[in-house]
Amino acid sequence: MAKRDYYEVLGVEKTAVQDEIKSAYRKLAFKFHPDRNQDDPEAEAKFKEAAEAYEILGNAEKRQTYDRFGHEGLNGQGFSGFTNSEDIFGAFSDIFGEVFGFSSAGRGGGNRPRPGADLRYNLDISFREAAKGTEVSITIPVEQPCEACHGTGAAPGSSPQVCPQCGGHGTMQQSQGFFRISVTCPQCHGSGRIISEPCPECMGRTSVIRDKDLKVRIPAGVDNNSRLRLRGEGEAGVNGGPPGDLYVVIHVAPDDVFERQGQNLIIGRDISFVQAALGHRLEVPTLDQPVNLDIPKGAQSGEVFRLRGLGLPHLGSTHSGDLLVEVTVKTPTHLNKRQEALLKEFAEIEAKKLTTKAKDFFKKAKDKVMGE
């Protein structure tokens, strides 16, 4: 049976950031956990399927390969082939520790270093800004270490103490089956520390929410729903862990003049039937200065003319797409008598031309038959 799409398995969009993917997997792991669904092969299969999806989408390199080539592109670097729940628990023990409060033997508790969470920022820009590129200033609320207590959570002049009940682990472990159940320490609430004099600035939380000003460089040619990654601009890490990243998701407003098709631009222009018949030099707008387009004689309605290199830049390249001009031949209305007379004369000439052509055709056909 064909494998389901990994994004569909986890129930996330293809634009989801790592934090969203991790959160989705946590929920599925909890829902289909073997202890909650004993003797249920369907739940076990979904438990393994979710683990497979997370192993790929939770890894930046594997995810990039999967986005480009699908399941076939993962041959040789894809799923580890978990055969049972223990394999999954071992591979993702940090996640299961967060969800169920258990950890593998010998693993520490609440005060180990953990990376900060990734953040997402939705940025609206104009069509022209996306086409030309720009730099914008944004302000995001970010959780940062408290400067007053230097991230300790204790008031100046004091310091946190190791929790006497859990010995600084943050958890109290009990054995159950093939893994250990870790119960959050009731005295320190999982922090592994006791703060007798909380910092008045952060109230013992070790961090505060502050606005952070950033400059974001938008590359020329960026498309709608593109994601820009700003490394290290997410939430601060915990207990010395690295900060997360900031993902800026671009939303491009439609333009009044141009329609976008990949890196090509499309524009429509009306011409009269006289201009279509005799040819015409048409002024066409571009992203910069207007240019002239020579419409040849006999142009047809719906015909598309290509102006190379006048479209949108390709990201990371010096090349650009094209400008496609679609012409529509408009039928004249409200003709005066002189115009009607000229058109009737034109129609008579066309009819004679068609009659002459028909006579010539039948004459040639007759001569051919007689010759045989």
Give the number of other CB atoms < 10 A from CB of residue 283.
Answer: 9
pLDDT cut 90: percent of the chain above it:
35
Of 51, 76, 100, the domain-final residue: 100
pLDDT value at 90 more than 50: no
With a cut of 70, say whether residue 372 has pLDDT above it.
no
pTM: 0.56
Mean pLDDT of 134-148: 88
**Most confident region among 74-88, 107-121, 321-335 by mean pLDDT:** 321-335
- Give the position of tokens 């870790």: 182
* pLDDT at residue 366 greater than cutoff 60: no
Cβ distance 227 to 119 under 8 Å? no
d(CA 247, CA 16): 10
Strand, helix or coil for residue 353: helix
Tell me, what's the pLDDT at 346? 86
Residue 45 lies in a domain: yes
Q: Which residue has the tokens 């115009």?
A: 339
Instruction: Note whether 333 and 326 are within 8 A (CB).
Output: no
How many angstroms separate the CA atoms of 214 and 344, rounded? 69
CATH code of the domain in which 45 resides: 1.10.287.110
Distance of CA 197 to the CA centre of its chain: 45
From 133, 138, 124, 311, select the one nearest 222 (Cα to Cα): 133
Give the least confident one: 79-83, 170-174, 326-330: 79-83
Q: Is residue 169 part of a domain?
A: no
HSE, CB side, 13 Å, CA atoms: give it for residue 358. 6
Q: What pLDDT shows up at residue 40?
A: 83
Confidence of residue 210 (pLDDT cuts 50, 70, 90): confident
Greatest alpha-carbon span in the chain: 120
289 or 62, which is more confident? 289
Name every residue whose Cβ is closer than 8 Å to that of residue 122 and which is 6 or more positions away in sequence. Answer: 249, 251
Residue 344 lies inside a defined structural domain of this protein:
no
Mean pLDDT for the chain overall: 81
Query: Which one is predicted more confidently, 135 or 351?
Result: 135
Binned at pLDDT 50, 70 and 90, residue 364 comes out as low
Closest C-alpha to 196, from 148, 134, 152, 142 = 152
Give the pLDDT mean for 178-187: 68
The sign of the torsion formed by the CA atoms of 286, 288, 290, 296 equals negative
128 domain-assigned: no
Burial 310-346 (b: 16+ CB within 10 A, else e): bbbbeeeeeebbbbbbebebeeeeeeeeeeeeeeeee
Looking at residue 108, its pLDDT comes to: 42
Look at 198-212, 267-281, 329-343 and tell me which has the smallest mean pLDDT. Answer: 198-212
Asked which of 84-98, 134-148, 246-260, 317-331 is least confident by mean pLDDT, the reply is 84-98
Cα 111 to Cα 92: distance, rounded to the nearest angstrom:
18
126 has pLDDT over 50: yes
Closest CA to 208 of 158, 147, 157: 147
- In terms of DSSP bridges, do strands 264-272 and 323-330 run parallel, antiparallel, or are they unpaired? parallel
- Does the structure show a pLDDT above 60 at 107? no
Of the candidates 71, 100, 129, which is a domain's last residue?
100
Region 25-34: what's the mean pLDDT? 82
Among 143, 139, 130, 129, which residue's Cα sits nearest to residue 215? 139
Residue 127 CB partners (closer than 8 Å, separation 6+): 252, 253, 254, 255, 258, 260
* Listed residues 80, 100, 120: the one ending a domain: 100
HSE-CB at 69 with a 13 A cutoff on CA atoms is 12
Average confidence (pLDDT) over 45-73: 85
Task: State the pLDDT at residue 356.
Answer: 66
Amino acid at 141: P
Is 70 exceeded by the pLDDT of residue 54?
yes
Range of the domain at 319: 259-330
From residue 349, how far is each of 14, 343, 346, 356 by CA, in Å?
62, 10, 5, 11
For the chain, how many structural domains are there in total?
Answer: 2
Strands 246-252 and 119-125: parallel
Q: Is a pLDDT exceeding 80 seen at residue 251?
A: yes
Q: Is the dihedral of CA 311, 314, 320, 326 positive or negative?
A: negative
Nearby residues of 45 by Cβ (< 8 Å), 6 or more positions away: none
Answer yes or no: is pLDDT of 177 > 70: no
- Confidence at 213, pLDDT banded by 50, 70, 90: very high
Which is higher by pLDDT, 69 or 82? 69
Rg of the chain on CA atoms, in Å: 34
The confidence score (pLDDT) of residue 132 equals 93
Kindly report which listed range (31-45, 72-86, 339-353) carries the lowest average pLDDT score: 72-86
217 falls within a domain: no
The CATH number of the domain where 291 resides is what?
2.60.260.20
Residue 127 lies in a domain: no
